[in-house]
Chains A and B, each alone.
Chain A
Amino acid sequence: MNRSVLTNPYVLIAPGFFLAAFIILWPLYELGTIAMSDVNRFGQIRGYAGFDNFLSVFRDPEFLGALARTGVWTLGIVFGAILIGLPVAMILNEDFYGRSVARVIVMLPWAISLTMTAIVWRWALNGESGLLNSGLRTIGVIDTNVQWLAQAATAFPMQIMIGILVTIPFTITIFLGGLSSIPDDLYEAAKLEGANGWQIFREITLPLLKPFINIAVVMNTIYVFNSFPIIWATTQGGPANSTDILVTYLYKLGFRFGRLGDASALSIMMFALLLVFTIIYVRLAMRGDDK
Chain B
Amino acid sequence: MSFKLSRKWRRTIISWLLLSPLIILVLFPFAVMLITALKPPGEVLRPNWWPSEFRWSNFITMWDATNFGRALWNSIYVAFLSTAIALVVSIPAAYAMSRFRFAAKGFFRQFLLISQMLSPIVLVIGLFRLVVWLGLLDNVNSVVFVYAAFAIAFTVWMLQSYFATIPKDLEEAAWIEGASPWQALITVFLPLALPAITVTAIFAFINAWNEFVIALTMLRSQDSYTLPIQVFSLVAGRYTIEWHHVMAAAFVATLPVAIVFAWLQRYLVRGLALGAVK
Contacts and interface: CB of A to CB of B under 8 A. Distances in A.
B269 interface: yes
B1 interface: no
B19 A91 contact: yes
Interface stretch (B62-70, B86-94, B190-198): B86-94
Given A24-B149, A117-B29, A106 B22 contact: yes
B123 A119 contact: no
B222 interface: no
A264 to B, nearest CB: 7
A103 B231 contact: no
Contacts of B235: 119, 233
A101 B10 CA distance: 17
B262 interface: yes
7 contacts: A13-B93, A20-B111, A24-B123, A113-B254, A119-B246, A131-B47, A226-B118
Contacts of A258: none
B102 A9 contact: yes
Interface residues of B, number: 102
Contacts of A141: none
A75 interface: no
Nearest to B227: A113
Interface string A227-271: 111000100000000000001001100100000100110010011
B23 A106 contact: yes
Interface in B180-200: 180-182, 185
Contacts of A260: 125
Given A2-B182, A97-B12, A233-B235, 15 more contacts: A2-B180, A9-B99, A16-B156, A17-B111, A23-B127, A88-B22, A92-B19, A97-B9, A112-B210, A113-B228, A116-B253, A131-B35, A135-B28, A180-B270, A247-B122
A131 B35 CA distance: 9
A34 interface: yes
Contact of B130 (A27, A119, A215, A225): A27
B165 interface: no
B125 A30 contact: yes
Nearest to A2: B182
Interface stretch (A50-58, A169-177, A186-194, A199-207): A169-177
Contact of A124 (B28, B90, B145): B28
Nearest to B216: A115
B225 to A, nearest CB: 13
B113 to A, nearest CB: 7
Nearest to B272: A173
Contact of A9 (B105, B146, B277): B105
B104 interface: yes
A129 B45 contact: yes
B128 to A, nearest CB: 8
B61 interface: no
B73 interface: no
Nearest to A246: B122
Contact of B258 (A21, A92, A111, A228): A111
Contact of B113 (A12, A115, A278): A278
Most buried by B among A113, A228, A274: A113
B114 A97 contact: no
Interface string A99-139: 11011111111111111110111011000111111110010
Overall SS of chain A's interface:
helix
Overall SS of chain B's interface:
helix
Interface in B134-180: 145-146, 148-150, 152-153, 156, 180
Contacts of A21: 111
A96 B126 contact: no
Nearest to A43: B125
B54 interface: no
B38 interface: no
Most buried by B among A114, A131, A229: A131
Nearest to B15: A96
A108 B232 contact: no
Given A10-B104, A112-B254, A173 B269 contact: yes
Contacts of A225: 119
Given A138-B49, A180-B269, A211 B277 contact: yes
B29 A229 contact: no
Contacts of A180: 269-270, 273
Interface string B244-255: 001100100110
A95 B126 CA distance: 50
B265 interface: yes
A198 interface: no
A20 B27 contact: no
A134 B46 CA distance: 10
